[in-house]
Structure 1
């Protein structure tokens, strides 16, 4: 089965770790590409390529300010990812609650064994 293009939706676009790093940086505020290059330690063409993919799925918006292009996060397209993940949140919470109960029981047993 052929792999979906990275530009088809936010799910595919954020599958790449460097793109998630870019989104994390842009979540802190608007930045020029040179700032992203410095923060990521990547070559400018690589960062620009990732930004192009993120722009194509509308996760990133750009505006010109003088000779600079400033990039900012557009969180709207992340909603489907959040909605999909939220279905698993209750399951994770239930499992963490069970683990907390098991750890509390083990701690109590250990406490009783030492007395």
Structure 2
């Protein structure tokens, strides 16, 4: 990230803004927890708990490439506290949906992150 287009908001405030905004962009029955990424001040850790009896939990790492664009990386998928094979069709579809919702949230927060 070049300095001219870097984030002008602290990581904790950014995480709080995401925590307020992300629940509006994901499915109403799902829940999300957003925390600062301790290893990278330009990144956040997002855990999305899928609603329903599947009990899936998706962990994403979201890194700001610049003040407008985020890179979303799946870290892990768990079911009932155990890692699962994320290559199944249903899980791939959920990953795509959540990735899209995360990008939508980033766009919504553009007013907060732009220089």
Name the TM-score class by shorter chain: under 0.3
Q: Give the TM-score normalised by the residue count of structure 1.
A: 0.26
Structure with the larger RCO, 1 or 2 (CA within 8 Å, 6+ apart): 2
Bigger strand share: 2
Q: Give the TM-score normalised by the residue count of structure 2.
A: 0.26
